[in-house]
Amino acid sequence: MGRDALALRETTIMTQTTKYVVGITDHMIGVPDIEADVLGPDVAIDFFATTNEAEFDPERLARLDALMVWGAKIGPRSVAHLSRCRGVVRYGVGYEKIDLAALEKAGIPFANNPDYGVEEVADHAMAMILSLHRRLWEHDARARNYRTGWQVHSLKPLSRSNKATVGVVGVGRIGTAVVNRLKPFGFHILGYDPGQPPGHEKAIGYERTESLEALLARSDIVTLHCPANAKTFGLLDADGLARLKPGAIVVNTARGELLDDFDALEAALRSGHLAAAAIDTLAKEPPDDHPLLTAWRDREDWLAGRLVITPHNAFYSDQAAVEMRRNAANTVRILLDEGRLRNQVRDGS
């Protein structure tokens, strides 16, 4: 269904059976037909189709009973016009672009969407962990130029999985799924997550560390699965990278703000203190130019196979994309029907 047809359909609903109006700022997968199916015929959808908050019409915001958000920023400018809004729901897990304080001041609850794509992100992280641990991309990059010999070009060091330690920072839904995937390979698993209760490590099967520093110092591979907030911004900045065990590997499928110092990352990779890194999320997407990214794009020899970047699609599978949209729409439907917002997130939580 095209946008014009959808708009016409919504106009018809609004004049006949509409009880609610739900705004959708944007999303990356066409028109909101799945959301319309879940929300039902008594809901008119106002699809803004933009991530630019400045383009949100105040009059359209004022008529919304709920607002669904993908990549747009929601700040005081928008919140001021959400006069009848019962709740704001984000399609994804992260919410650093949402001004929770402004929403809370206006009495508008906010929810994220944590129960989708867990398997996909965990699988993506595992693919990165195993590929960098086995130095697959580096072997691939260098094997292109081998003209004499073949097996003699095995890269060293290259240890067995059961001789390596993986540190999992954040042992929530996705971190736990990663732990469960790591176990059959024989890795020794450390976990750091002060939000998990005592004994969680025994139930799941990892060794708890009481500090991030202890985990970084002991881990051959560090994989990040924590949210971006005031405590975790720049988690692996220059100081954090310096605390890593020499020759370590870093995997980030969480938030770009955790590993956002390209100068420090380049220095750590050039010096060899960091053996390799794999990144799925960046603080700015697409990223600005930087010498490290230029070296990555140009396949410079010193970096060959040691830096892997994927375009923030660890969450994605055909099934997860549908699950995400249905779950977010269901959250709104429950809010409209019952006045209850599941997965609610509060400022400071």
Residue 79 scores a pLDDT above 80:
yes
pLDDT tens column, 99-108 = 999 999 999 9
Write out pLDDT tens, residues 187-238: 999 999 999 999 999 999 999 999 999 999 999 999 999 988 888 999 999 9
CA distance 211 to 294: 35
CB 93 within 8 A of CB 69: no
Three-state DSSP state, 88: strand
- Topology agreement, domain 3-116+318-345 and domain 118-309: yes
How far apart are the C-alpha atoms of 199 and 203, rounded to whole Å? Answer: 6
Q: Which pLDDT band holds residue 96 (cuts at 50, 70, 90)?
A: confident
Residue in the block written with tokens 């059961």: 162
For residue 214, which amino acid is it?
A
Q: Could you give the 3-state DSSP secondary structure of residue 13? A: helix
Note the pLDDT of residue 14.
52
Task: Report helix, strand or coil for 23.
Answer: strand
More confident residue, 334 or 115: 334
Nearest-angstrom CA–CA distance, 242 and 239 = 5
Reply yes or no on whether the pLDDT at 29 is more than 80. no
Active-site pick, 213, 285, 340, 346: 285
State residue 346's pLDDT score: 87
Q: Residue 6: pLDDT above 60?
A: no
- Assign a CATH topology to domain 3-116+318-345: Rossmann fold (3.40.50)
Q: Indicate which residue of 77, 312, 326, 342 is catalytic.
A: 312
Stated as kind and residue range, the H or E segment containing 47 is strand 43-47
Share of the chain above pLDDT 90, in %: 87
pLDDT at 349 over 80: no
Closest of 232, 223, 236 to residue 124, by C-alpha: 223
In DSSP terms, 88 is beta-bridged to: 67, 110
CB contact at 8 A, 89 and 111: yes
Mean pLDDT (whole number) for 42-65 = 96
- Exposure class string for 69-98: b at 16+ Cβ within 10 A, else e: bbebbbeeebbebbeebbbbbbbbbbbebb
- Is the confidence at residue 16, as pLDDT, over 70? no
Question: What was the pLDDT predicted at 348?
Answer: 64
| Tokens linked to 296 | 């990555």
- 35 in catalytic set: no
Question: Tens digit of pLDDT for each residue in 267-299?
Answer: 999 999 999 999 999 999 999 999 999 999 999
- Alpha carbon distances (Å) from 155 to 111, 139, 151: 47, 7, 10
Q: Catalytic residue among 27, 135, 255, 325, which?
A: 255
Clarify whether 255 is annotated catalytic: yes
pLDDT score, position 15: 44
Write phi, then psi, for 38 (nearest 5 degrees): -70, -40
Q: How confident is the model at residue 158 (pLDDT cuts 50, 70, 90)?
A: very high
Q: How far apart are CA 22 and CA 43, in angstroms?
A: 7
Where in the chain are the domains? 3-116+318-345, 118-309
DSSP 25: -
Token match 């176990």: residue? 183
Compute the chain's Rg from CA coordinates.
23
Phi/psi at 17 (nearest 5 deg)?
Answer: -125, 5
What mean pLDDT is reported for the chain? 93
pLDDT of residue 40: 95
Is the pLDDT at 345 greater than 60? The verdict is yes
Residue 1 predicted with pLDDT over 80: no
Q: Which residue has the higher pLDDT, 349 or 346?
A: 346
CATH class of 118-309: alpha beta
Instruction: For residue range 236-260, list pLDDT tens digits in order.
Output: 999 999 999 999 999 999 999 999 8
The percent of residues in the chain predicted with pLDDT above 70, rounded, is 95
Please report the beta strands in 78-203, taking only residues with DSSP state E, as ranges in sequence order: 88-90, 110-111, 165-169, 188-192
pLDDT of residue 31: 83
- Residue 30 has a pLDDT of 76
pLDDT greater than 80 at residue 137: yes
